[in-house]
A and B are shown apart, each in its own frame.
Chain A
């Protein structure tokens, strides 16, 4: 692929190499995630990651850009996100000054003026346009974060960019990326993304990690934590995910909680310390209320029993 040949940070040559690359940056991925990431790099296709909040979807883009030495360009989506904040905008104030200057100089050639005004230097480039520009380090990593928060109109706009990696600007012409950026799109599923967009991407559902992997993640992200505590933390969180909560804790919450516990110098989980720090794990009052009393005792007993 062209992108592989042009880049200075070489792309991994196999799934195992991909896995190693991610691990080297502290991202302990499931093999399946490493596989789709590898495929998306090799095939030059956007990677569409869906999953609950806090399972590490955004993180993978950051890790990729760091590991491959590419620029990370992030587009955070929100309702009403439009072309002028996502792609480009004209610097109208500067344009107006230029027009006045031309007038003052007695320059009245309209065509000349128009091509002067709509030139590159009056253009304010937003993330999507930046991502199409050539970069010395190789094509950048473009993170389109939480696409489900943008509205359908913006999603439709993305179709052209994602399939041809080009943008058409009426006053300017078409800007096409010399080599396509690495695109990671994330969604929390607060709304369904249209099939047309998903079709252009490789899709992967990022799930909560298995206990063993989560333990490794906690150990690598919270260095000071004791083996006993980290094991109890992971067992506790995994048990919580089996409960019928409105919002189960993600990996990000596990790390937060482990950090909190380790800041409090907790040696092991006790009802007292869990009760005090539950807010790091559960973010809905209903869920926290449900965790009082018997449920808490039971989960806690299971989590701490074998130690």
Chain B
């Protein structure tokens, strides 16, 4: 009953519907290109539009290219193809992602500042204080807007981060490329070259293995107690993501969010803005154990499989520290090449691992380092450039 407006004889309306539906999906945050719309039309002509379920599957196969989008698609489909007169309200009723809502433009603060006063340092600190006060057991659905950052701070951090040399500890891959000092003979090129001399082999061509930087996976704690640092780390991670291919970044507070795609945008402001839009629990509480559990279950196999180095950036102040936390840390430790815990609390000289959470986590890390300023990030980079752990050493060498 619901899809009679999709009958093929009413071709024009049918096309309109598909186009409208594609637009609705786009508005809901799904990447739907014009090619997919054309595909959808030809697919629906191939299939006998008898049942709603078949139409659903057909359109799903064409529009959904990532499993995460399946739910959005389902909601959109149900709303859109409910009844022909209702679909026009579609755009209002689909839950839009945060990016689509009105919010200050990324970088607007910087522009404003650039136009008026040279420096405004007090305001951001003040803001952070407020956020820290608001930490509670309840999840705080609050967003911190990166567009509201002070221009001087960003500029300073960025300059510093850009100057840093990125980690270069490399893995040998199984892929090969021409290399005069390589160990393997490149028979194909040798033969081709030999034909130039009528079959006499003069030059032996060789193959060597290609080296790639090891993938990096960063798990960044964005809970209230970390709010003074998250911004800097995000810039650091953005710089890394920009320069390397295999970097995955996850933010966690009370829940885990994958922001790798958001960070891929070239402009740091844009990247951080869409990052903050993707996160629902900015500067709220911490649930390290639950977040790690989610990471281990949903992502570890997908992002750690190529021998990744994990950077866990957190103060380890977990309220629900119990054996589960140790279990998840252990699982994480066993699934990656190297687990480095970066803890800003280490900046205090007499730091002792007293907090229960920290005690639970500490036995399972390869390295425990401070990060609270640019120089400690620089040290981190030096660490990352060192040769990787022995059990993988045969495949690895540290670049000069």
Q: Cβ of A32: which chain B residues have Cβ within 8 Å of it?
A: 53, 56-57, 60
What is the minimal beta-carbon distance from A198 to any residue of chain B, in angstroms?
A: 4
B118 sits at the interface (CB 8 A): no
On whether the beta carbons of A110 and B191 are closer than 8 Å, the reply is no
Q: How far is the CA of A203 from the CA of B58 in the complex (A)?
A: 10
Distance in angstroms between the alpha carbons of A223 and B48 in the assembled complex:
36
Distance between B247 CB and nearest chain A CB, rounded to angstroms: 13
CB of A108 within 8 A of CB of B47, answer no
**Are A36 and B31 in contact, CB atoms less than 8 angstroms apart?**
no
Contact with A along B94-119 (1 / 0, CB 8 A): 00000000000000000000000000
| Interface membership of chain B positions 35-79, coded 1 if the CB is closer than 8 angstroms to chain A and 0 otherwise | 110010011001110000110111011101111001000000000
Could you tell me the distance between the alpha carbons of A287 and B265 in the complex, rounded to whole angstroms? 39
Interface of B is mostly: helix
Cβ contact within 8 Å between B47 and A113: no
> In chain A, residues 213-251, which have Cβ atoms closer than 8 Å to a Cβ of chain B?
244, 246
Instruction: Check if A35 sits within 8 Å of B47, measured CB to CB.
Output: yes
Say if the beta carbon of B305 comes within 8 Å of chain A: yes
How far, in Å, is A72 (CB) from chain B's closest CB? Answer: 22
CB-CB < 8 A to B296: which residues of A? 246
Contact pick for B302, options A113, A171, A189, A244, CB 8 Å? A189
Which residues of chain B are near A192, meaning CB under 8 Å?
302
Give min CB distance, A210 to chain B, whole Å.
14
Stretch in B193-201, B270-278, B347-355 touching the partner: B193-201
Checking B42, B176, B191 against A90 with a beta-carbon cut-off of 8 angstroms, the contacting residue is: B191
* Contact flag A286-B331 (CB < 8 Å), given A110-B198, A190-B301: yes
**Is the CB–CB distance between A92 and B191 below 8 Å?**
yes
Contact A153 to B61, CB < 8 A, known contacts A90-B191, A96-B191, A99-B194:
no
Q: Report the nearest A residue to B55, measured CB to CB.
A: A35
Minimum CB distance partner of B35 in chain A: A199
The answer to whether B188 has its CB under 8 Å from any CB of chain A is: yes
In Å, the complex CA distance between A204 and B177 comes to 35
- Is B306 positioned at the interface, with any CB of A under 8 Å from its CB? yes
Chain A interface main SS type: helix
Q: Nearest Cβ in chain B — how far from A49, in angstroms?
A: 11
Q: Which residue of B lies closest to A102 (CB)?
A: B199
B-side contacts of A114, CB under 8 Å:
195
CB of B26 within 8 Å of the partner chain:
no
Tell me the smallest distance from the CB of B231 to a CB of chain A, in Å.
27
A121 within 8 A of B: no
**Is B392 close to A, CB under 8 A?**
no
Is the pair B42, A246 in contact by a Cβ cutoff of 8 Å? no
Asked if B65 and A110 make an inter-chain contact with CB atoms under 8 angstroms apart, the answer reads no
Q: Which residues of B contact A103 (CB under 8 A)?
A: 198-199
The answer, yes or no, to whether A125 is at the interface (CB within 8 Å) is no
**B residues within 8 A CB of A35?**
47, 54, 57-58, 61
Assess A191 versus B302: contact at CB under 8 Å? Given A205-B70, A286-B331: yes
Question: Judging by beta carbons under 8 Å apart, are B33 and A199 in contact?
Answer: yes
Give the distance in Å from the alpha carbon of A15 to the alpha carbon of B61 in the complex: 14
Task: Select from chain B the residue with minimum beta-carbon distance to A122.
Answer: B191
In the complex, per-residue mask of A140-156: 1 if CB is within 8 Å of any chain B CB, else 0: 00000000000111000
Chain B residues with CB below 8 A from A110, complex form: 195-196, 198
- Would you call B175 an interface residue if the criterion is a C-beta within 8 Å of the partner chain's C-beta atoms? yes
Question: Chain A, 38-55, contact with B by CB distance < 8 Å: what is the 0/1 string?
Answer: 110011010000100000
Question: Is there a chain A Cβ closer than 8 Å to B245's Cβ?
Answer: yes
Q: CB of A14 within 8 A of chain B?
A: yes
Given A199-B35, A203-B65, are A43 and B305 neighbors across the interface (CB < 8 Å)? Answer: no
| Shortest beta-carbon distance from A104 to chain B in Å | 10
A154–B365 Cα distance when bound, in Å, is 34
Which residues of A are found within 8 Å of B331, using beta-carbon distances? Answer: 246, 286
The answer to whether B173 and A36 have CB atoms under 8 Å apart is no
- Asked if B174 is at the interface (CB within 8 A of a chain A CB), the reply is yes
A80 within 8 A of B: yes
Q: What 0/1 pattern do residues 96 to 109 of A give for CB contact below 8 A with B?
A: 10011011000010
Q: Given B56, B57, B173, B199, which contacts A80 in the complex, CB threshold below 8 Å? A: B173
> Are B301 and A195 interface neighbours, CB within 8 A?
no
Determine whether A298 belongs to the interface, using a CB cutoff of 8 Å to chain B: no
Q: Is the CB of B65 within 8 A of A199?
A: yes
Q: Is the CB of B31 within 8 A of A82?
A: no
Q: How far is the CA of A15 from the CA of B50 in the complex (A)?
A: 11
Q: A114-B195, A190-B305, A191-B303 are in contact. List 17 more A-B contacts (CB 8 A).
A: A15-B47, A31-B54, A32-B57, A36-B58, A43-B43, A80-B175, A92-B191, A96-B191, A99-B194, A99-B195, A110-B198, A188-B301, A189-B301, A198-B65, A199-B35, A203-B64, A244-B297
Listed from nearest, the 6 A-B pairs whose CB atoms lie closest are A80-B174, A92-B187, A99-B199, A35-B57, A198-B65, A202-B61
| A to B CB contacts below 8 Å, 13 in the list | A14-B48, A31-B54, A32-B53, A32-B57, A35-B58, A42-B47, A50-B67, A79-B173, A80-B174, A108-B198, A191-B302, A198-B65, A203-B64
